[in-house]
Amino acid sequence: LDKSRKKIQGMFDEIAGKYDFLNHLFTLKMDLKWRREIVKEIQKSNSRKDFIIDLATGTGDLSFELLQLSPKKLFAADISFNMLALQKKKTSNPVLVLLQCDSLHLPFEDNSIDIITIGFGIRNFEFMEKCLDEINRVLKKNGQLIIIEMFSNDDFKTKLFNFYFGKVMPLVGNMISGSKYAYSYLHKSVANFYPVEDFITITEKHNFSNFRVKNNFLGVVNTVYFQKL
Ligand SMILES: C[S@@+](CC[C@H](N)C(=O)[O-])C[C@H]1O[C@@H](n2cnc3c(N)ncnc32)[C@H](O)[C@@H]1O
């Protein structure tokens, strides 16, 4: 699967205009609830919330929720200019700083950030493990890394879901977005991604600990909470 920067950036630039609509359609708006729960969990924790990065922020569904935490600065970072441009149209809140950058090179000092969130982004990172090191570098000690993602899963129920996900969604998604590729890529990228247990093992090797998993949907959509060691 081609996850080169050029391919991924081009793909999200291409579908940006239809991204929100299709996202909410395919998840029947459950995705809004999953993101809101992340904010509630952070509110319950006593960790600092002054400086937050929402990585792979896209059009801002997660970053706007994170504003409720009243951070001093919330950096919304993404490689796709078109996704960021749509986010910019939705708000002029001075706390929110939009950044076009690759997760491989974050323009922040070591140990400077309290929380990093990644919503449905890490599966697309070409050099995922190097990105985990980069995230670790900029997070403060005990800082939180929170990832909501679609993981591969071989359960029976998931196989039924895969019919919808592997056949219906690519057809409808590619048609509505006008892309020949994006929604076929989505299915393939999930099928080729790690099961959540394996993902946790890898992340722990990059100096994150205290994981906690919330199964949002069929063991496919999970939110995983980590802390920097
Ligand atoms: C599926 S969208 C998710 C957007 C948003 N976080 C959400 O929850 O709806 C994935 C986003 O990841 C971004 N992305 C992919 N690879 C990236 C990378 N290496 N660095 C930064 N952003 C990346 C894409 O441009 C896209 O906007």
What span, in angstroms and rounded, lies between the C-alpha atoms of 56 and 130? 15
pLDDT of residue 26: 86
What's residue 157's pLDDT? 65
CA atoms within a 13 Å half-sphere pointing along the CA-CB vector of 94: 0
pLDDT for the residue numbered 28: 87
> Dihedrals φ, ψ of 106, to 5°?
-90, 130
The verdict on the CB of residue 22 being under 6 Å from ligand 1 is no
Determine the atom of ligand 1 nearest the C-alpha atom of 148.
8
Which pLDDT belongs to residue 181?
86
Q: Are 214 and 23 in contact (CB under 8 A)?
A: no
pLDDT at position 144, please? 97
pLDDT of residue 163: 79
The predicted pLDDT at position 127 comes to 97
Q: Which of 36, 39, 124 to mutate to test the pocket of ligand 1 (most atoms within 8 A of CB)?
A: 124
Tens of pLDDT along the chain (229 residues)?
899 999 999 999 999 999 999 988 888 899 999 999 999 999 999 889 999 999 999 999 999 999 999 999 999 999 999 999 999 999 999 999 999 999 999 999 999 999 999 999 999 999 999 999 999 999 999 999 999 999 998 876 677 777 788 888 888 999 999 888 898 999 899 989 999 999 999 999 999 998 899 999 989 999 999 999 9
Atom of ligand 1 nearest to the CA of 11: 25
Would you tell me the crossing angle of helices 5-26 and 182-191 to the nearest 10 degrees?
90
pLDDT (0 to 100) of residue 156 = 62
Q: Which residue, chain included where needed, has tokens 């980590």?
A: 226
Among protein residues, the one whose CA lies closest to atom 13 of ligand 1: 56
Does ligand 1 have an atom closer than 6 angstroms to the CB of 62?
A: yes
CB atoms within 10 A of CB 132: 23
Cite the DSSP H helix spans in 91-206.
128-138, 156-163, 169-177, 182-191, 196-205
pLDDT on residue 77: 98
The pLDDT value recorded for residue 165 is 80
Q: 124 CB less than 6 Å from ligand 1?
A: yes
Q: Is 58 in the pocket of ligand 1 (CB under 6 A)?
A: yes
pLDDT at res. 136: 98
Bridge partners, 96 (sequence order): 74
According to DSSP, residue 56 is labeled: T
